[in-house]
Chains A and B, each alone.
Chain A
Amino acid sequence: MSATAAQSPIKPRVRTRRRRDPSSHMVLVALIVLAAVMLLPFVIVVFNALKTPQEYGANGALAPPEGFYLQGLKDFWERVDFGRKLLNSIIISGSVAVLAVILSVLNAYALGIGRIKGRLWILVLLLMANTLPQEALVYPLYYLSKQLGIYDTRLSVIIVFAVIQSAFGTYLLSSVLGAFPRPLLEAARMDGASKWQVLWRIIVPVTRPTLSVLLVFFFIWTWNEFLIPLVFLISNDNQTVSVALGVLHGQRLMDATMSSASALLGILPTLIFFLIFQRTLTRGLTAGSIK
C-alpha cells in the first residue's frame, strides 16, 4: 500500500479508497450472508403463515407457499379476538406515552429550569424506576392494586408504566432544559407570564422535537413490555398483544401454521411502527438540541 502511495503521490487517498480488492468482496458476501441469516426467521414466518395446514404437512416448513392462504390468519385473528388485543395494546401504550411525557416535562421543569435544591439526588432517585428489576416491584404492586380494586384493569398497567418510562424522560429533558436559553424565559417574565404559562407557551413548543421522540420511545417500549402486563392483565378482554400471544403459546395448543400466523400478527405492528416512526426518530434526534 505504501508502494501505491509512492507511485501516485498526487491523489493517494482516492486511490486507496476506491480500490476494490477481492478481499473486500469477500467481506461483502460474508455480510450479506449474515444479513440473510438474520432475516431468515422472518421469511420462514411469512412463508408458513400463508400456507394451508395440508400444504405445511406435505411440503414442510422451508418450502415457499403455493398461494396466498389468508384463512389461517383470519381464523387466528378471530379465535384470539386479535382486534381487541391490538386495541388494548394501543390504548395502554398510547396513554403511557402521553402521561409519561407530561410527567417528564413537569419533573424536568422543576429540575432543569427551577433548579431546585438537591436536584442531582432527586434525579438519581427517579432513575431507580428504570434500573430496578421489575421482579422486585411486581409482587407488592400486584398486592397493592388488588387492595385498591384496580387489579386486572388497563389503568393499573398504565399508571405503573407512566412512572417507569418517565424516569428516562426526566433524565433526558432535565439536561436539555438545563441548557435552555435563559433570556427567552426572562423576556416572558417581563411580560408578566406565570410559570405555568412559561411552561406551556415557551418550553413545550420549543422542545417539541425532543418530546415527540420521547413519545415514540415510550410507546414502543410499553408495547414490548411483558412481565408486568402478564401479571396484571389476567382476563382475556384486557390483555395486550404480547401477553395474549405469549400465554397462548405457553399452553402449547397451537399447530405449526397457527403458530406462524400468530408470530406474523405479532411482528406486523412493530414493522408498521418502524415505518411510521422512522422519520420522527431520525429527525427528532438531530433536532434534539435547542438553538
Chain B
Amino acid sequence: MRRPAAAPGPIRAGWRSHDRAAYLLYLLPGLLLFVGVILVPFVMNVGTSLTEWSGVGTPRWVGLDNYKTLFSDGEFWASFRHNVALIIAMAIIPTAIGLVLAAALTDFIGKNFGGRTASVLRACVYLPQLLPIAIAGIVWSWILAPENGAVNELLAAVGLDSLAHDWLGDPKTAMAAVMVVMVWIQIGFPLVIFMSGLQRVDPSLYEAAEIDGASWWRRFRHITIPQIRPEIFVCLLWCTIASLKAFAPIYVLTKGGPGGATNVPSYFSYQNFFEKTDAGYGSAIATVLTLIIVALTVVFLRVQSKDLEER
C-alpha cells in the first residue's frame, strides 16, 4: 500500500499486447473462482429475492412483492434503527474517542513519559480488536448476566444493588448494553490508525502552536484533526460498513432479542433464511443491505475526493 497503484507506464519491447494476453492465463483460476463463489451466488440472491421460496421445491415468481412487504414491515425498519445505533457505537463514538486518545497519547504521553508508555497503553486499548467477535460476545454476555454477572456484582459491591439489572434481557437496556460492548471492541481500531497517521504530521507545527500559547484543545482542533482527515474518512467508512455487517455480536449477545429490541438487518436476513425458511424475503433484506453498503461507499469516496481537491 506504500506504492501507488499500477500506473500505465511506457510499453517496452517485449511487453506488447499479444504478450499481455498470455498473462490472462494467470488470472483464470482467480476469475473462475470469483465467478463461482461471489458473482453467481450474488446474482442468485437477487433472483431469489424476486420469488417466494422456502429453500426446497420450486421458487414461485412474485416480482417485487418481497420488497413491497419489506418497506411496510415495521420489524425491518426497526432493525434499521438499531443499525443506526450500531453505527453510532461502532463508527462515531470510537472515531471520536480514538481521535482524542491518539492525540493525547502522541502529544502528551509520548512527549512527557516516553514512547514506550504510549505504546503499552495503545496495546491495552487495542487488545479487544484481536478477539474473534463471537468470543468477545461470550465474555460480555457473561459479564452482563443478571445473576452473578460481574457488572451487577460490582454495583452491589459499591452499594448500588438497586441498579442491578438484566442488562441484555430487558428491551429498555439491551441495545445500550450491546452498544457498550461494541465500543469496547471497536475503539482500538481508530486509535491505531490515527496514531500512525499522526506520525506523519510535522512536529514543528505543534511546536510553533505551543510557543504561540495555543491550548491543547486548540492544537487538537486546528492541527490534529485537519492533518489526519484522510484517516478519519477511511476509518469512518470502514467502521460503518463493519457495523452494517455486524452479525456475530448480535447472534452471541442477544439473538436479536428481547422481542426484537436489538435485531439488525444482517441478523434479520439470517433469521428469514434459516429460522423462518423464507429465503425470498431473506434475500430481499440482504440485497437492500448490499445496496446500502455500495451506495455508502460511493458517497464516502466522492466526499473524500472532493475534500482532497479543496485542500
Contact = CB atoms under 8 A, between A and B. Distances in A.
A140 to B, nearest CB: 4
Interface residues of A, number: 106
Interface string A237-262: 00001110110011000001001101
B289 A136 contact: yes
Interface in B1-33: 1-9, 12, 14-15, 17, 20-27, 29-31, 33
A112 B8 CA distance: 10
Contacts of A259: 138, 142
Interface residues of B, number: 103
B211 A2 contact: yes
Max chain B CB contacts within 10 Å: which of A56, A126, A136?
A136
Interface string B272-301: 011000010011011101100110010000
B134 interface: yes
Nearest to A117: B20
Interface string A109-150: 111111111010010011011011111111111111000000
A18 B130 CA distance: 34
A283 B118 CA distance: 20
A160 interface: yes
B295 to A, nearest CB: 12
Interface of A is mostly: helix
A2 B207 CA distance: 11
Given A60-B148, A115-B8, A110 B27 contact: yes
A36 B139 CA distance: 16
A60 B150 CA distance: 8
A61 B38 contact: no
B55 A13 contact: no
A35 B135 contact: no
Interface string B193-218: 00000000000000100111100000
A126 B34 contact: yes
A132 to B, nearest CB: 6
A75 interface: no
Contact of A103 (B29, B105, B112): B29
Contacts, number: 295
B153 interface: yes
Interface string A50-63: 00000010001110
A71 interface: no
Contact of A256 (B135, B148, B245, B289): B148
Contacts of A61: 148-150, 153
Interface in A147-190: 159-160, 162-164, 166, 170, 172, 174-179, 182, 186, 189
A205 B35 CA distance: 30
A39 interface: yes
A34 interface: yes
B33 A246 contact: no
A41 B289 contact: no
Contacts of B140: 41
Contacts of B283: 136, 139
B132 A41 contact: no
A218 interface: no
Contacts of A178: 3-7
Interface of A: 1-2, 5, 12-13, 16-20, 24, 27-28, 31-32, 34-36, 38-39, 41-42, 44-45, 56, 60-62, 103, 106-107, 109-117, 119, 122, 125-126, 128-129, 131-144, 159-160, 162-164, 166, 170, 172, 174-179, 182, 186, 189, 195, 199, 220, 223-224, 226-227, 230-231, 241-243, 245-246, 249-250, 256, 259-260, 262-263, 266-267, 270-271, 273-274, 288-289
Given A164-B37, A226-B133, 4 more contacts: A36-B124, A110-B26, A122-B27, A139-B45
26 contacts: A2-B212, A5-B211, A16-B210, A38-B128, A41-B128, A44-B143, A56-B148, A111-B6, A115-B23, A132-B290, A136-B42, A136-B287, A141-B41, A175-B4, A189-B14, A195-B22, A199-B26, A226-B248, A243-B134, A245-B138, A246-B248, A249-B137, A256-B142, A256-B148, A266-B132, A288-B2
Interface of B: 1-9, 12, 14-15, 17, 20-27, 29-31, 33-34, 37-42, 44-45, 48, 55, 101, 104-105, 108-109, 111-113, 117, 120-121, 124-125, 127-128, 130-135, 137-143, 145, 148-150, 153-154, 157, 184, 187, 207, 210-213, 241, 244-245, 247-248, 251-252, 255, 265-266, 269-270, 273-274, 279, 282-283, 285-287, 289-290, 293-294, 297
